[in-house]
């Protein structure tokens, strides 16, 4: 059921407000709105839980989202977190667990976009703002959706890859016995020479897959073949005094150069978020996080005693080994990556409380050395 279609039962909002005013504290935490059956319909986080929850009861129905959530809720509950960072992680994981309708329908991210490579006999490369399920590889997250879409369009043109619907029937050249009558492509791109035509049996599957691998290598920063092709064509056009073609090719080159550079910066940013991070708790309940590639791999209360330090060192060692060389994003971890990239971008002071994992282990070879917080 979508958020817009939720039933609006009679709710004693005054009772809920009095409970919040009497019991909630102004501490970081998460809260959940529940329907009459006890199902979670919305998850939120707050730096000050009491203040945030009370604001819901001042919202105007139906214009304000907060008021619509309260109108659909039968009850609410909350719990506290050591810090705003911990609350943000908890909110994300609860949304992933409960899939609340108000979060899904109303909190779609509008800034991040991904280059996706869909699997199948003729993989398609396209841009999307959501994390798809199934056999789809994701690259990013990128900013600037329109520019990203244009860059991917150029990539598809240069490599002759399709941009038609995912469910387009595919028949390769080696399947010629399946055709009756002349071969025919589904769109004009084959006639224009910008698509290999896997829909009409004009290309062998192995040849098409080889072009897809070139695109993947480009997106992963392992090769710059599409740029090389354009430079060669641009040089030939200039030498032949075909300046209009040379200008068009230069524009394509600039789009792909931007895509390659943006992908390199993003991968470097993700790799840089690999460290032990000590997050100060609002009430002294600091936590230590083991972060690899912008993903929280483990966490524990910040250790102080020799026993705590030894236990935390063992936790760090579990996540200090070699990582997978696959440069596509893990679908189940993308939301957390986006969260951490945004957190450390908005809170540069937090980086002063980090130590690279190998350096942290070198500092703590013996129990009792302390956590080694920087800053």
Q: What is the pLDDT along the chain (375 residues), one digit of tens a residue?
A: 344 444 444 568 889 999 999 999 999 999 999 999 999 999 999 999 999 999 999 999 888 989 999 989 999 999 999 999 999 999 999 999 999 999 875 454 457 899 999 988 999 999 998 886 667 999 999 988 899 999 999 999 999 999 999 999 998 998 866 556 667 888 999 999 999 999 999 999 999 999 999 999 999 999 999 999 899 999 998 889 888 889 999 999 999 999 999 999 999 999 999 999 999 999 999 999 999 999 999 999 999 999 999 999 999 999 998 888 888 998 888 999 999 999 999 999 999 999 999 999 998 876 545 554 444
Query: Is there a single domain that holds both residue 169 and residue 129?
Result: yes
Host H or E run for residue 70: helix 65-72
CATH number of the domain at 88, please: 3.40.1440.10
Count of other CB atoms within 10 angstroms of residue 207: 13
Choose one of 270, 293, 321: the last residue of a domain: 270
- Looking at the domain assignment, is residue 73 inside a domain? yes
Judgement on whether residues 266 and 121 belong to the same structural domain of the protein: yes
Neighbours of 132 (CB within 10 A): 15
Q: CA 75 to CA 11: how far, in whole Å?
A: 8
CA distance linking residue 214 with residue 194, whole number of Å? 16
Task: Name the domain boundary from 40, 74, 106.
Answer: 106
d(CA 11, CA 74) in angstroms, rounded, equals 6
Q: Please indicate, yes or no, whether residues 64 and 152 belong to a single structural domain of this protein.
A: no
Q: Give yes or no: residues 132 and 242 share one domain.
A: yes
Q: How many domains does the chain have?
A: 3
| Position 370 in a domain | no
Q: Do both 118 and 202 map to the same domain?
A: yes
33 token code pair: 């709105």
Report if residue 373 sits inside a domain: no
For residue 350, the enclosing domain spans: 273-363
- CA angle, 290 as apex, 285 and 294 as ends, to 5°? 115
Task: Tell me 160's DSSP state.
Answer: T
How far is it, in rounded angstroms, from Cα 143 to Cα 111?
Answer: 6
> Looking at the structure, do residues 22 and 41 belong to the same domain, yes or no?
yes
φ/ψ of 9, rounded to 5, equals -70, 165
By DSSP bridging, strand 275-279 and strand 136-142 are unpaired
């Amino acid at each position: 059921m979508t958020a817009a279609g939720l039933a609006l039962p009679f709710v004693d909002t005054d009772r809920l407000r009095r409970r919040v005013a009497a019991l909630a504290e102004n501490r970081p935490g998460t809260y959940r709105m529940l329907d009459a059956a006890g199902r979670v319909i919305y998850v939120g986080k707050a730096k000050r839980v009491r203040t945030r929850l009370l604001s819901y009861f001042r919202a105007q129905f139906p214009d304000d989202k907060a008021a619509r959530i309260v109108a659909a809720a039968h009850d609410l509950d909350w719990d506290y977190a050591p810090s705003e960072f911990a609350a943000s992680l908890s909110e994300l994981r609860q949304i992933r667990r409960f899939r609340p309708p108000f979060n899904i329908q109303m909190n779609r991210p509008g800034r991040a976009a991904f280059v996706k490579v869909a699997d199948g006999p003729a993989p398609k490369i396209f841009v999307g703002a959501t994390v798809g399920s199934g056999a789809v590889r994701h690259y990013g997250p990128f900013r600037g959706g329109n520019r990203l879409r244009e860059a991917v369009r150029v990539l598809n043109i240069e490599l002759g890859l399709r941009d038609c619907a995912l469910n387009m029937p595919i028949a390769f050249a080696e399947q010629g016995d399946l055709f009756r009558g002349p071969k025919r492509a589904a769109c004009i791109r084959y006639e224009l020479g910008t698509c290999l035509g896997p829909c009409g049996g004009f290309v062998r599957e192995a040849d098409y897959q080889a072009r897809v691998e070139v695109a993947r290598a480009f997106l992963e920063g392992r090769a710059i073949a599409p740029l090389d092709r354009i430079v060669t064509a641009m040089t030939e056009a200039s030498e032949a005094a075909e300046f209009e073609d040379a200008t068009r090719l230069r524009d394509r080159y600039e789009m792909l150069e931007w895509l390659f550079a943006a992908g390199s910066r993003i991968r470097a940013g993700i790799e840089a978020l690999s460290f032990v991070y000590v997050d100060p708790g609002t009430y002294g309940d600091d936590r230590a996080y083991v972060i690899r590639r912008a993903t929280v791999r483990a966490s524990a209360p910040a250790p102080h005693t020799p026993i705590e330090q030894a236990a935390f060192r063992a936790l760090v060692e579990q996540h200090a080994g070699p990582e997978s060389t696959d440069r596509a994003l893990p679908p189940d971890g993308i939301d957390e990556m986006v969260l951490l990239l945004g957190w450390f971008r908005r809170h540069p002071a937090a980086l002063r409380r980090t130590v690279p994992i190998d350096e942290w282990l070198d500092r703590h070879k013996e129990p009792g050395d302390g956590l080694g917080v920087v800053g």
